[in-house]
Structure 1
Amino acid sequence: MRSPKFTSILLSLLPLPLLPTCSWAAATDSIPTQNTQYCLFGHPLGQADFCFGLSVTNHSDPRPDHDFHKDFHISLSVRRSSSAGGRRGWTAVGTGPVMAGSVMVIVYGEPGEGRPVVSVRSVGGHHQPGVVTYRGVDGEEVKGEVKGEGEVGKGGRVRVVRAEWVDLREGQGGRRHGGDEKGRRHDDDEMEEARVPDGPVAYAARVEVVCEMCDKFGSVQDWGGAAAATGGGKGGGMPWIWAWNDDQDFEQDGGTWEVGAKLKMHRHRGGSGGYGRFWVDMARAYTDGVKEVKHEWDFEEREQNKRVGTSDGPIGFGAWFDFVVRVWSLAKIHGVVMGVGFLGLFPLGVVMIRMSSGKGRPFKRHWRVQAVATAVAVGGAMIGGKLSKWHMPKTLHQWLGAGIVIGLVVQSVLGWRHHVDFVRIKRRTWISYGHIWLGRAVVAGGFANVVLGMLLSGKAAGSIWLVVVVGALEAAGLGWWLWRAKRQRKQVVAGEDGTEALALMPRASDGGDNYFALDESEEETSDEDQDGKISDEEALRKKSVDSASSVKKGSVAVKD
């Protein structure tokens, strides 16, 4: 066990920019026997309130050429009030970064009455977790109900060694931590409106769980928890999850205080609102040569001990990169891909057709960018289809997404047809305007669907408003661009041969390119070969522009 003095000296040697990344807090007056701790003191604000401690030991004495496993000694303290609200809800912590495959320890019950309920569960996906086989505090075996892909434990064993309510008012005066009692929490789900706790902290459910050979569980294996404990893991940090519900009334819902009670979902908002992640420095959690770990229970009352060998984010750049690559769900990838397409690439394509500067013809730049944007959007739609297992759409987000994909296909065909017709007849048709307006509708619908997707996935209000503001600014900018282009176009007289004398924006001195049009020779010739050359059509267009300029100058001379 490292001493407080050694830890303080070590942290003082770190560069200041690294300290927020690690965000480890070393206590100066007391270090409990848990090597690592993570605490949230949210009760006075109506938020999650618990303390988690972890120590890792060898399951058996290491021998040469022998693989030995690790035991995880988990301590959990959940603080509750003595009023009716104290019996509501549940609190859980689990191994790994997501629910799937996690070994979750869930605590609930009526404060001060009997023992708190300790339910060890897992699940194969983001569904209702089921009880796994484990031993209770009295040595009784609790039969598991998790089967198939959700089954955890190919040899690992879990046993509860302690579960009791402790009255914090005896000799401690019901001390409060975490902020002003008048604070309120804001949530965006269907549960009851957030409320201020109806009483001070009175009890703590204190639970000890030993996960024997815990490295056999998939959620620990995948993150190298055992290897990290001996210095061989990636960055030494392993992600854990926590979740919280303060609304469920087990007795009113017709349930009982049983380990297999049906649980209501946690709140949708991340952070103290309902769920979150934290990282444990597994190398620090490892206790070499210790067969039994005895835990002290003073850490939940000490603010300075709320982060000991733990962090709210991955510890180190390598852990961040590993987390993003391995944990980002398909839903997040789907959202990012669609956001890039509809907030970035499609608006860029609209700008490209109206820019005269830069390499290449505007039409070429336009269709190339739009082709990439369409490919990105279709790829994102394929990910969305996989997420829904290719079932019929059920939500507005899914229906709108399907309509947008169809609209993209139709809009692309209209764009190709417009180009072919314009090269032939040198004027726009209804197909041209259909391509333009359908494109605008698709981009607007795509942006709206990005926002709907964020709402559906329970993103924070701040993130959603940021996307809305960015989209509104883009729409305002493009609207001004189109208005200015239309105003400029009205000042130009079209050529007698039917070609457009000027594109939507003022071009260079050569008179500009046809809007949405290239002749066949230009399609087959590189941009570099076109420099310094003027085709017959360009000559006619230039003549038309010069004629229009002469008429305008003559009118000014007459007025003078």
Structure 2
Amino acid sequence: MIPSIMSCLGSFTILLLLACWTIAEPVQYCRFGHRTQDASVDFCLGLTTHYNATSNDHDLYLSVQVTRASALGWTAVGTGSMMAGSLMFIIYGDPFSDSKLPPTVSIRTIDGHRQPHVLSSADTGEADLRILQAEWVPGATGGDDISVAKTAVVCYSCEKWPGMPISAKTRSQPWIWAWNNKQKFENYSEDVHLKVHSYHATDGGWGRFYVDMTRSIDQDSSVPSPPPIKPGVAELGASEIPGGWSWMDSIVHVHGWVMAAAFLAVFPAGVIVMRSGSPKSFQLHWILQILASILLLVGVAIGLIRAHKLDSFHHWIGIIVAICSLVQIVLGWRHHVLFVQIRRRQWASYGHIWLGRVSLLLGWTNIITGLLLTGRSFSWIAIALGLVAADAAVLAGWIWVSAHRHKQRPQSEESPLYALQSMRDDYFAVAADDDDESETRFSRDESEPVAISKKDTE
């Protein structure tokens, strides 16, 4: 049975890895201005690059979502590190108009730092651009005061854009964004005059970010759709600095590795040594579980510092698991005290067993949700799933072996060695609920263990 389970888990992991290599990994950059105290720019850009065998060039698919609370102003994203030569996508419109006009997607460029003009055929060179989607949808909160402009554009042979270079092979493609929240429009034509954005960087009016274009390449031969925007993910294959590394990223990495060490290595190791039958199994068990609990609490603290606020299932699951670990320590201590007195399981024992199982499952789940929340690649997620599957298979196999060994033990043997071994195997018995409790007890003088049957105690 156990070999079959392990074989199935291994096959599943291999298939998942193969699937991940063939799936496009859209990159994403977002600024969540409506989540801040002083509402500011709020947009998301998603990218997928597709190799077109017909043209022998890369086509660029873009999804741009802009969250709006009024009809004032405009939001723009563009290629390159400056306005000159940038391919710009400027979005504006009235989401609350009775005319139900869709948002305007004005594609422009300029050769200097002045008013951008709408693209002409002379501007695009051999590249070709098409608008695929432009519509208003209610905001995530469902309120009438928030609306989202959902737009999608495809740029065929986009590497042939004659302005600022666009390459599917660069790991740090510069992009710019700009924002104006005060302009009142008389109409929403594509060539309407745009008032200047604020000259202050970041939330004030403009900024830069960098995208790993190699990650966005779609290996599938079929024509892709515009990439979906992952809710709540600020950076996916993108960063505000070239190269994609910052001290905040390092904190996220430390958080992830600490939690992975706790739930993929130390906690499972504590379960295994408790069922090992070693004379030091209990001592090793509590040492490992205390170490894992410390790693868990440190990881949760780092996660809370990085998150600033609790706004996802990942955060809440992490807090629940941290609380469970503290309860586990109390239940483990209580089990030990009562077991020494009565030599059998009681409420603290079963609470410790089942809460440990639930905590381990939640911890494994949160490893995956953490990778999804931080926008890690499909390959990382597949590796994590494979490690979780391997952990589950090893624990299941060890539990089965331990339970089988317990059932095969000669029950008629009443030697002092058997009494000592029985107690050692059943002390926590975190692996099997259906194991018979030890029928052995120790005399007051623990230097002379004796076997006492249930009949003798009646």
Aligned partners of 1:252, 1:45: CA distance in 2, in Å?
Answer: 30
Evaluate the alpha carbon distance shift between residue 514 and residue 397 of structure 1 in structure 2; reply closer, same or farther with a 3 A threshold: same
1:490 alignment partner in structure 2: 407
Measured against aligned partners, the alpha-carbon deviations of 1:143-179 in whole angstroms (never above 9, x if no partner) come to xxxxxxxxxxxxxxxxxxxxx9995887xxx499xxx
Residue 204 (1) aligns with residue 151 (2): no
1:380 corresponds to which of 293, 299, 302: 299
1:436 corresponds to which of 339, 343, 353: 353
2:255 corresponds to which of 321, 334, 337: 334
Amino acid aligned to 2:402: A
Aligned residues of 1:90 and 1:244 also touching (Cα < 8 A): yes
Residue 474 (1) aligns with residue 391 (2): yes
Evaluate the alpha carbon distance shift between residue 493 and residue 340 of structure 1 in structure 2; reply closer, same or farther with a 3 A threshold: same
Evaluate the alpha carbon distance shift between residue 106 and residue 330 of structure 1 in structure 2; reply closer, same or farther with a 3 A threshold: farther
Aligned partners of 1:420, 1:263: CA distance in 2, in Å?
Answer: 63
Aligned residues of 1:418 and 1:432 also touching (Cα < 8 A): yes
2:162 aligns to what SS in structure 1?
A: strand
Aligned residues of 1:107 and 1:117 also touching (Cα < 8 A): yes
Measured against aligned partners, the alpha-carbon deviations of 1:328-364 in whole angstroms (never above 9, x if no partner) come to 332222222111111111111111112245xx61000
Tell me how far 1:368 sits from its aligned partner.
0.3
2:197 corresponds to which of 260, 272, 275: 260
Aligned residues of 1:495 and 1:544 also touching (Cα < 8 A): no
Residue 513 (1) aligns with residue 445 (2): no
Normalising by the residue count of structure 1, what TM-score does the alignment of the two structures yield?
A: 0.42
Evaluate the alpha carbon distance shift between residue 489 and residue 515 of structure 1 in structure 2; reply closer, same or farther with a 3 A threshold: same
Aligned partners of 2:387, 2:348: CA distance in 1, in Å?
Answer: 31
Measured against aligned partners, the alpha-carbon deviations of 1:204-257 in whole angstroms (never above 9, x if no partner) come to 2249xxxxxxxxxxxxxxxxxxxxxxxxxxxxxxx9773589xxxxx7999975
Residue 451 (1) aligns with residue 353 (2): no
Aligned residues of 1:494 and 1:500 also touching (Cα < 8 A): no
1:371 corresponds to which of 279, 282, 290: 290
Aligned partners of 1:364, 1:105: CA distance in 2, in Å?
Answer: 68
1:403 alignment partner in structure 2: 320
* Pairs within 5 Å for 1:198-237: 198=156, 203-206=161-164
* Pairs within 5 Å for 1:320-359: 326=247, 328-356=249-277
* Pairs within 5 Å for 1:291-310: none
Normalising by the residue count of structure 2, what TM-score does the alignment of the two structures yield?
A: 0.50
Aligned residues of 1:397 and 1:449 also touching (Cα < 8 A): yes
Aligned partners of 2:108, 2:127: CA distance in 1, in Å?
Answer: 22
Amino acid aligned to 1:432: S
1:109 corresponds to which of 82, 88, 93: 88
Evaluate the alpha carbon distance shift between residue 487 and residue 481 of structure 1 in structure 2; reply closer, same or farther with a 3 A threshold: same
Aligned partners of 1:428, 1:114: CA distance in 2, in Å?
Answer: 71
Aligned residues of 1:447 and 1:471 also touching (Cα < 8 A): yes
Measured against aligned partners, the alpha-carbon deviations of 1:352-405 in whole angstroms (never above 9, x if no partner) come to 112245xx610000000100000000011111221233x4x3321112111111
Residue 416 (1) aligns with residue 327 (2): no
Aligned partners of 1:334, 1:105: CA distance in 2, in Å?
Answer: 41
* Cα RMSD (Å): 5.3
Aligned residues of 1:343 and 1:471 also touching (Cα < 8 A): yes
Aligned partners of 2:161, 2:384: CA distance in 1, in Å?
Answer: 43
Measured against aligned partners, the alpha-carbon deviations of 1:99-121 in whole angstroms (never above 9, x if no partner) come to xxxxx99944379x997259xxx
Aligned partners of 2:253, 2:84: CA distance in 1, in Å?
Answer: 27
1:540 alignment partner in structure 2: 449
Aligned residues of 2:59 and 2:155 also touching (Cα < 8 A): yes
Tell me how far 1:419 sits from its aligned partner.
0.8
Aligned partners of 1:343, 1:423: CA distance in 2, in Å?
Answer: 31
Evaluate the alpha carbon distance shift between residue 426 and residue 481 of structure 1 in structure 2; reply closer, same or farther with a 3 A threshold: same
Aligned partners of 1:259, 1:500: CA distance in 2, in Å?
Answer: 86
2:261 aligns to what SS in structure 1?
A: helix
Amino acid aligned to 1:91: T
Aligned partners of 2:349, 2:162: CA distance in 1, in Å?
Answer: 70
Aligned residues: 297
Aligned partners of 2:84, 2:255: CA distance in 1, in Å?
Answer: 31
Aligned partners of 2:151, 2:386: CA distance in 1, in Å?
Answer: 27
1:91 alignment partner in structure 2: 79
1:242 alignment partner in structure 2: 174
1:204 aligns to what SS in structure 2?
A: coil
Aligned residues of 1:345 and 1:373 also touching (Cα < 8 A): yes
Aligned partners of 1:349, 1:191: CA distance in 2, in Å?
Answer: 51
1:46 corresponds to which of 22, 47, 59: 59
Amino acid aligned to 2:251: L
Amino acid aligned to 2:88: G
Amino acid aligned to 1:475: A
Give % identity.
26
1:540 aligns to what SS in structure 2?
A: coil
Aligned partners of 2:159, 2:286: CA distance in 1, in Å?
Answer: 64
Amino acid aligned to 2:340: V
Q: Which has the larger radius of gyration?
A: 1
